Amino acid sequence: MNMYLTKSRYLTGQHCSKKLWLSTHRYELGEYVKSFAATIGDEVGIGATTNYPNGKMIQASYKEHEAAVKETLELINDDQTGAIFEAAFEHDDIRIRVDIFERLGDNKWGIREVKSSKLVKNHFYHDIGIQYYVLVGLGYDIASAKLIHTNSNYILKEKEIDWGNFFSAVEYLPDIKESLPEIKNELLRLRKIQHDTKEPFIYPSQGYCKGCEFWDYCTKDKPSDWVEHLPRLSPKKRNELQELKIENIAKIPEGFSLTNNQSKIVNATKTGEVFCDDSFSSEIKKYNPPAYYFDFETLSCAIPIFRGLKPFERVPFQWSLHHLSVEGKTQHWEFLAREKTDFRREMIESFINIVHPNQDKIIVYNASFEKSVLKEMGVLYPDLQDKINNIIERIEDLMAFIQKNFYHPQFNGSFSLKKVLPALLPHEEKYSEGEVSHGGEAQAQFYNIICDKYDQNKKAMARGDLIAYCKKDTHSLILIYQHLLRNY
Ligand code: SF4
């Protein structure tokens, strides 16, 4: 068993001791899916290396650490190498790869940690600190330790990214030197956890465990009506329920203090019956046809995709629009950007041209998202602002209606479209049956299409998947509305 620490295990252990233990002893239990943000992070990392023309990349992979250390030493001994990318080191049973190990002259070196993030986050400091500990332990004279992160003022002006201006840097060396005793103590604590033969006990919870690869393992014994499914469960309430040893929503005792929404969920779970508020029948009328059903897809990533964009600037690249007439006739329109140019005006105008001529209401699911995207378009195109404001005023939120007036026990505490649709209409095709099953995948597919990561065939297929995914969202709104109207 590999009991060494790595940079990622060190950071993991700082957040959750159980995660550190599992990643050391039961790595195979994790579900490792590379996120879109991580893929973009790799591209940003490669971009950063272009700022070091005399740099060389270590060829040995992460799994070939010893070979990577050997390669690193060879490049350190080569004066012509100005920087080593993915430099590998090992000291005190800690293995690290340094994004950029820069030769500064006079036998001094610099650590360059590259992040595709515009924020200087606190954990980056530990990220660099552990590298400093290893390198100083090996006897290197570290004269600088910088976080290289995305410059939030950068604007793409040419076709290609100007990597020289894309980054900002923050010097961490004085802080790290001062905190070396803290890092050493942390190492002792983490090693103790790692070497323990027993798996630590940590109670999983939605917020704390967000994105953890061991989520399925840690929650495998939880009941289907697990109390963690209650929305906005406060830490205080969570602790109280744990003290009472209550894991099932159905077992929460009468009189236990909850929000109205939580109480509604508890009652529906206990009785197995749908909750329908008294105002259901009057309020659903707001959603009666004629109406449009609308959904945006947006991309937000560190690498701007066309001139004029900043890193992480949100770009709506797709919409789907259905219309349902009083007679029950449906029509559908869609937009999906094709070119890596600023398509936003075409995108918003094509939408306005369909919905502006009449004043039918526009139904969305989670209005704050669509409204905020529309507001951004209004700021970008002041000449369209009046029409955009008119559209915003016509928006009705089907999710808000359901949250207030309705609950089905099979929502399992969630009001997301991906939970609501199968609970109400179990025979409808599930989102997971398509290639794109959530917004994150939609972003990744669009990025891959627009940035030519796919060949023509794959592009055509990915475009088809995106169109089907967004269309399914707006069609689902019609189905949900009709189902609610007919059955409750
Ligand atoms: S799922 Fe939660 S408790 Fe389990 S290892 Fe991950 S972070 Fe820790």
Find the mean pLDDT for residues 19-28: 96
| Same domain (yes/no): 106, 80 | yes
> Last residue of a domain, which of 255, 272, 289?
272
Measured in Å, residue 136 CA sits from the centre of ligand 1 at 32
Find the mean pLDDT for residues 305-331: 97
> Last residue of a domain, which of 272, 305, 330?
272
Instruction: List the alpha helices (DSSP H) in 138-252.
Output: 163-166, 173-178, 180-195, 215-218, 235-243
Q: For ligand 1, atom 7, which residue shows the shortest CA distance?
A: 209
Q: Are 154 and 39 in contact (CB under 8 A)?
A: no
| Same domain (yes/no): 428, 374 | yes
Look at residue 381 and tell me if it is in a domain: yes
Q: Are 392 and 351 in contact (CB under 8 A)?
A: no
Look at residue 143 and tell me if it is in a domain: yes
State which H helix or E strand residue 291 sits in.
Answer: strand 291-299
So what's the pLDDT on residue 404?
Answer: 93
| Same domain (yes/no): 236, 316 | no
Could you tell me the pLDDT band of residue 3, with boundaries at 50, 70 and 90?
confident
| Same domain (yes/no): 84, 138 | yes
Ranges assigned E (strand) in 291-430: 291-299, 315-324, 330-336, 361-364, 395-397, 406-407
| Same domain (yes/no): 49, 135 | yes
Find the mean pLDDT for residues 163-171: 96
The set of protein residues with a Cβ atom below 6 angstroms from ligand 1 is: 16, 18-19, 22, 202, 204, 208-209, 212, 214-215, 218
Structure tokens of 2? 């590999």
| Same domain (yes/no): 41, 107 | yes
Q: How many CB atoms lie within 10 A of CB 125?
A: 18
Strands 141-150 and 167-171: antiparallel
Of 364-378, 413-427, 430-444, which gets the smallest average pLDDT?
A: 430-444
Measured in Å, residue 216 CA sits from the centre of ligand 1 at 9
So what's the pLDDT on residue 429?
Answer: 73
Write the pLDDT tens digit of every residue in 77-102.
999 999 999 999 999 999 999 999 99
| Same domain (yes/no): 306, 391 | yes
pLDDT over 70 (residue 275): yes
Find the mean pLDDT for residues 8-23: 95
Summary mean pLDDT of the chain:
94
Measured in Å, residue 193 CA sits from the centre of ligand 1 at 14
pLDDT over 70 (residue 434): no
Q: Identify whether 290 is preceded by a cis peptide bond (ω within 30 of 0).
A: yes
Measured in Å, residue 19 CA sits from the centre of ligand 1 at 5
So what's the pLDDT on residue 1?
Answer: 65
**Which residues, other chains included, contact 78 with Cβ-Cβ below 8 Å and sequence gap of 6+?**
none
Look at residue 345 and tell me if it is in a domain: yes
Looking at residue 433, which CATH number applies to its domain?
Answer: 3.30.420.10
| Same domain (yes/no): 41, 178 | yes
| Same domain (yes/no): 262, 344 | no
| Same domain (yes/no): 352, 428 | yes
Q: For ligand 1, atom 2, which residue shows the shortest CA distance?
A: 209
> Last residue of a domain, which of 142, 176, 195?
195
Find the mean pLDDT for residues 65-78: 98
pLDDT over 70 (residue 431): no
So what's the pLDDT on residue 24?
Answer: 94
Number of separate domains in the chain: 3
| Same domain (yes/no): 336, 235 | no
Look at residue 212 and tell me if it is in a domain: no
So what's the pLDDT on residue 432?
Answer: 58
So what's the pLDDT on residue 291?
Answer: 98
State which H helix or E strand residue 89 sits in.
Answer: strand 83-91
Residue 417: give the domain boundaries: 281-487
Write the pLDDT tens digit of every residue in 208-267.
999 999 999 999 999 999 999 999 999 999 999 999 999 999 999 999 999 989 999 999
Structure tokens of 482? 């009709």
Find the mean pLDDT for residues 361-387: 97
Q: Indicate which atom in ligand 1 lies nearest the CA of residue 215.
A: 1
* CA angle in degrees (0–180, nearest 5) for 442-33-222: 105
Q: Indicate which atom in ligand 1 lies nearest the CA of residue 213.
A: 6
* CA angle in degrees (0–180, nearest 5) for 419-420-421: 95
State which H helix or E strand residue 102 sits in.
Answer: strand 94-105
Find the mean pLDDT for residues 153-173: 95
Measured in Å, residue 323 CA sits from the centre of ligand 1 at 44
Closest CA to 87 of 79, 76, 96, 98: 98
Looking at residue 109, which CATH number applies to its domain?
Answer: 3.90.320
| Same domain (yes/no): 345, 471 | yes
Look at residue 208 and tell me if it is in a domain: no
Instruction: List the alpha helices (DSSP H) in 121-271.
Output: 122-137, 163-166, 173-178, 180-195, 215-218, 235-243, 260-271
Q: For ligand 1, atom 3, which residue shows the shortest CA distance?
A: 204
Could you tell me the pLDDT band of residue 433, with boundaries at 50, 70 and 90?
low
Measured in Å, residue 215 CA sits from the centre of ligand 1 at 6
Look at residue 214 and tell me if it is in a domain: no
Whole-model pTM?
Answer: 0.91
Look at residue 430 and tell me if it is in a domain: yes
Write the pLDDT tens digit of every residue in 35-63.
999 999 999 999 999 999 999 999 999 99
Look at residue 211 and tell me if it is in a domain: no
Q: For ligand 1, atom 4, which residue shows the shortest CA distance?
A: 218
- Testing ligand 1's pocket by substitution, the residue of 8, 15, 19 carrying the most ligand atoms inside 8 A of its CB is 19
Could you tell me the pLDDT band of residue 2, with boundaries at 50, 70 and 90?
confident
Q: Are 315 and 442 in contact (CB under 8 A)?
A: no
Structure tokens of 134? 């290893």
pLDDT over 70 (residue 146): yes
